[in-house]
Amino acid sequence: MQNEDPRAGTRVGGPPEMAVARRGAGGQGVSPSRAWQLWRDKRGRVSALRIAALALLLGPLAKALAETDAIAHGARPINELIHRSGFWALVFLGITLAVTPFRHIARYGNLVDVRRMLGVGAFCYIAAHLGLFIADQSYDLGKVVHEITHRVYLVIGATAWIGLAVLAATSTDGMMRRLGGLRWRRLHQLVYAIALLALVHYFQQTKADVTVPVFVSGLFLWLMAYRVLAWWRDSHALSTSSLVALAMVVAALTFAGEAIGIGIAFHVSPLTVLSVAFDVDAGVRPGWQVLAAGLAVAVLDAACARWRSRDPRRLKAVAAE
């Protein structure tokens, strides 16, 4: 991934995920009056991509409002909202991390324009997560601190919260200039560790079925493995065949991880757990879901590559080289 160095205006490498500098035409910064117009791109034009990203971020909130009556009459309404906000914070953090590989897979570099919005949106949901937790403790800050410091999964969650807050606070163009390009990029690489802590927190607070946490972990593993493989090959993009192989390896690791985890938790052999992977009556295991998602990405890559090869403008560019 490449970003603009705010000091020199040159292209530099590095994968900061929470933000990217927004520049207007001619290299000028975005005016304060337009900074809050999130539906406009860096040139001040109405952006369909940004509108779609905003709609995506507001979707869970709209769903919660539509289900207000059901939530209010539930056993623990605030607790339900706590879980919802935390889950969507993790989802949007994952989507933010997915921008880098998908801008190459989809051959659509403009995706980077919504990365900061998605990252800050993830923090907004995690901020609501904490706010609702405080409300659930009757706004007793002493009790909140006691709960957080005496429960391991809350300590992990609080650490992730603080880290994401730091990244959100330093995601502005001004903070990029103050920190300098290199320090800013190194700071924002902490997003990988933060995502890992968030996953551990999600696992630990899940008391029964861990199917969804295992699936989410498999997707996170794919995102990290993509970056490692791209770095090892010194290339931002991977071939379709590499994506197929990546899907199969990550799916196998997801199967193995789930089997080992369940085996340890219930004192059974992991091989026994793996034996039900092909039992349809037991449900579709996360490993199959991760494999399907990975293969779908490979198909998308092949389709985009084929479409670009038929693009007349692309053909002219190749012929001119």
- Please, what sign has the CA dihedral across residues 65, 68, 70, 74? positive
* CB 315 within 8 Å of CB 267: no
Q: What is the structure's pLDDT at 67?
A: 95
**Which residues does residue 23 pair with via DSSP β-bridges, in sequence order?**
29
Instruction: State the first-to-last Cα distance of the chain, in angstroms, to the nearest integer.
Output: 24
- What type of residue sits at position 228? V
Q: 0.85 cut: is pTM over it?
A: no
Separation of alpha carbons 25 and 23, rounded Å: 7
Instruction: Report DSSP letters for 218-287, one per residue.
Output: HHHHHHHHHHHHHHHTT-SS--HHHHHHHHHHHHHHHHHHHHHHHHHHHT--HHHHHTTTT-GGG---HH
Residue 134 φ/ψ, nearest 5 degrees: -65, -40
Specify the residue for token string 């730091």.
166
**Ranges of each domain in the chain:** 2-6+13-22+37-205, 208-321
List the alpha helices (DSSP H) in the chain: 32-35, 48-66, 68-72, 77-105, 115-136, 141-150, 152-169, 173-179, 181-188, 191-205, 211-232, 240-266, 270-274, 286-309, 312-320
* CB 118 within 8 Å of CB 58: no
State how far Cα 241 lies from the chain centre. 24
Each residue of 85-114: b (16+ CB within 10 Å) or e? bbbbbbbbbbbbbbbbbbbbbeeeeebebb
Q: What is the structure's pLDDT at 23?
A: 42
Q: Which H or E run contains 11?
A: strand 11-13
Supply the Cα-derived Rg of the chain in whole angstroms.
22
Q: What is the structure's pLDDT at 298?
A: 97
Residue 309 φ/ψ, nearest 5 degrees: -70, -20
Tens of pLDDT along the chain (321 residues) come to 344 333 333 333 444 555 443 444 344 455 555 667 777 777 778 889 999 999 999 999 999 999 999 999 988 999 999 999 999 999 999 999 999 999 999 999 889 989 999 999 999 999 999 999 999 999 999 999 999 999 999 999 999 999 999 999 999 888 999 998 899 999 999 999 999 999 999 998 887 788 999 999 999 999 999 999 999 988 888 999 999 999 999 999 999 999 998 888 888 899 988 888 888 777 889 999 999 999 999 999 999 988 877 655 544 443 443
Instruction: Quote the tokens at residue 9.
Output: 């205006």
